[in-house]
Amino acid sequence: MSVKNVIFELTRLQKEVLELASPAQQVRKIVDSISEIVGTDVCTLYMVDPEKDMVLMASHGLSQTGPVSIPAGRGMVGMVATVRHPLNIANASEHPNFYYVEGSGEERFQSFCGVPLVHYGKVVGVLVVQRVDAVALSHESEAFLVTLSSQLAHIVADMPITLQGAHINTYIRGVKGSSGIGIGLSVLCHHGELYSVPDEPCPDIEAALVQWQQLLDTVQTEIQQEEKSLNALISNNVSSIFSTYSSLLADQTLTQKVETEIRNGNWLPGALRRSIQYFGDLFLAMEDPYLRARHEDIHHLGNKLLSTLQGGNNAQILQYQAIDQIILVGDEISISDIAAVPGDKLVGIICFSGSSMSHTAVLANALGVPAVMGVGSLRNLRNRERFIVDGNSGQIVRYPNDRMCKEFQRLIAVEKLLVDKLSTLRDEPALTPDGFTVRMFTNSGLLADLSPGLKHGAQGIGLYRTEIPFMVRDSFPSEQEQIDVYSQVFRAYADKPVYMRTLDIGGDKQLPYFPITNEDNPALGWRGIRFTLDNIQLLMTQVRAMLRAAGNEGDLHILLPLISSTEELVTFNQLLDEALKQLAQEGIQARRPKVGVMIEVPAAISQLAFWSSRIDFVSIGSNDLTQYLLALDRNNSRVASRYDHLHPAVIHELNRVVNIARDCKLALSLCGEMASDPMAVILLVGMGINTLSMSATKLGRIKYLIRALPHSLSQEILQQCLQLDDVTAIRSLLNSTLLHLNLHELVK
């Protein structure tokens, strides 16, 4: 086959496969087309399931024998997956690895050619072609299959794995939304989709404006009722989630946007769609997962407004009454959906879209309900289908058989024992058996994030992202508007430290009214402290708002992002002096806060000793620091698998930062994913880091680890890891340590 023909066939097959709607149709198209192109009697596609077995997805030419699964490493298919190299032979039955599938009719086919499907270094499947004649495949045809397999791997990597001939135990990957495991029957959540509403002329503008105000009042009342129904199940502080929605409804930016659209002649549904989409798209365009999640929250609110405008939908109520264990399934599960289900019946949530940082996930965490987000569209869904929601691994199981359900029931029992242990530790200190104490802080950025942190025993906020008030508006928020937001944070965390990061705009976090464009590499461009110092009037307003919100009572710590030079630090301290002087002249009481820098840029490490007289503390931003040290974008799927915060270079640099901070007598904390990774925490405690900040739901598990981890042991393990130059070896040692401490529940 010529190169030209190879390219043509590849392009044609890829196009035809991607145009098909369902994975079943796609794999059928693949095996039928390849058999025709190569001229073979059989073409079979196997994929690797979570147990590493080879599952038959589709076959052209073999008898339909029902479910087929070849044990891991067995047969020629398993061999190809193991050696990651093609196997092309004339007499398959004579090969020592021959594995016969009963009833397949495979004995009629003599030749065998199998090639691995590799997706970013990981074998995800094997493609096999066979012929009746005992003749090996030509070198040209083998080369074509190898070329084709490299392309097909990217298509099939995320397909749900289903045993051919039986809809059982179909694993579907998603994103972890809320930990835990739930087994139950599905209830589909249908909403009128706001984004499908068309523009129409407004017949009566004044009447539409009145209707808009009435709609706002009605939805505010509904939110209060939903809040009341959920407060009986979780902490009273969960009201902050609903306060966010109430604040959006009361925000003049949103209401005026809708009113402007109406006055421009659009009917109310169209005006609502344009306004919600405007704000939602601001966040949807951002790469930062936390900020991107705000798009989901705004979309939820928009759909709720539309549903109420259209009279609401109570169709699910009968379903709720008839099912004892409910799993809510839908494109986006709203807070209204969750609030409508009796608390003792809701056992899981499955969202086709969404992320771990949306309000749906936040509320699921607060309720202790397992949730998996972003599973993609599920075809042929019905009410009352049985699902397993595995929030621990971020996947669901569709059509689970009784054996599968029994195994997950056992895991639920183990999980319950751990939850019971963690619940007793809420108010206990994170104290190692030999007396080393760690302060446990939470990360936040929305008012809705405040209650989960308090519920799980956070001793303060280690990272408060201040970007949100800037990003949901048509212009920069005023000083008073910022004060209103920050004051709620200090009230919620009265007598507790709050580390507020100054505005971190730039890169993927754009302001619609102040776009930063034409940057070849935004991650290394005009962002963080660089942006705010170049727009110092904005920074002055924000610092004044922080100082006024904290007053004399709030324990404010100001955190500076992306610091890389002494000049930046000197300029900020001068600005802080000026802000305190201004407030004193205005008769406003304010205390000088502690000032610290985030260690995100590697250049900051070598300068830290020089800065010790100008700062009070240091906070390691482990996510960005890891990316910059390894030159890896963890959001780039092509290299994300190489991103690992336990890389030897990261461990050594973190240890270096700790030693410099200790020598300079600087308080030190760490925020980011490392703080919630049990393996990483062993090393962080060994280094002597005594303040960790993480998502609220991780606080209990990490405290449980610390209380079982002798500081002396963590120091020994750290020294051993510092001698290793391989991530796999480091993780193996840390995994063994967790098992040695009998912390099997924390081993993933």
Taking only the tens place, the pLDDT of each residue in 685-707 is 999 999 999 888 789 989 999 99
Q: How many domains does the chain divide into?
A: 4
Helix H or strand E encompassing 621: strand 617-621
**Whether residues 112 and 211 fall in one domain:** no
Helix H or strand E encompassing 81: helix 75-83
- Position 196 in a domain: no
Strands of the sheet with 371-373, listed across from one edge: 170-173, 395-398, 386-390, 181-188, 326-330, 346-351, 371-373, 175-178
How many CB atoms within 10 Å of residue 385?
Answer: 18
Mean pLDDT of 22-48: 82
**Whether residues 428 and 547 fall in one domain:** yes
- Position 563 in a domain: yes
**Whether residues 180 and 299 fall in one domain:** no
Res 298: pLDDT: 77
What residues are annotated to the active site? 359, 671
Residue 381: pLDDT above 70? yes
CATH number where 136 lies: 3.30.450.40
- Position 230 in a domain: yes
Q: For residue 78, what are the contacts with CB-CB under 8 A and spacing of at least 6?
A: 54, 70, 71, 72, 97, 99
Q: 164 or 267: whose pLDDT is higher?
A: 267
- Position 194 in a domain: no
- Position 715 in a domain: yes
Domain final position from 422, 438, 465: 422
684 within 8 A of 693, measured Cβ to Cβ: no
- Position 195 in a domain: no
**Whether residues 184 and 115 fall in one domain:** no
**Whether residues 238 and 372 fall in one domain:** no
Range of weakest confidence among 119-133, 459-473, 476-490? 459-473
Q: For residue 556, what are the contacts with CB-CB under 8 A and spacing of at least 6?
A: 490, 498, 500, 546, 547, 549, 550, 591, 593, 594
Span 588-629, pLDDT tens digits: 999 999 999 999 999 999 999 999 999 999 999 998 899 899
**Whether residues 493 and 555 fall in one domain:** yes
**Whether residues 245 and 150 fall in one domain:** no
Domain final position from 262, 287, 309: 309
pTM of the complete model: 0.64
**Whether residues 397 and 496 fall in one domain:** no
**Residue 36's domain spans which residues?**
3-166
**Whether residues 207 and 289 fall in one domain:** yes
Residue 67: pLDDT above 70? no
CATH number where 271 lies: 1.10.274.10
Domain final position from 422, 442, 477: 422
**Whether residues 179 and 151 fall in one domain:** no
Radius of gyration of the chain (CA): 29
**Whether residues 74 and 160 fall in one domain:** yes
**Whether residues 678 and 732 fall in one domain:** yes
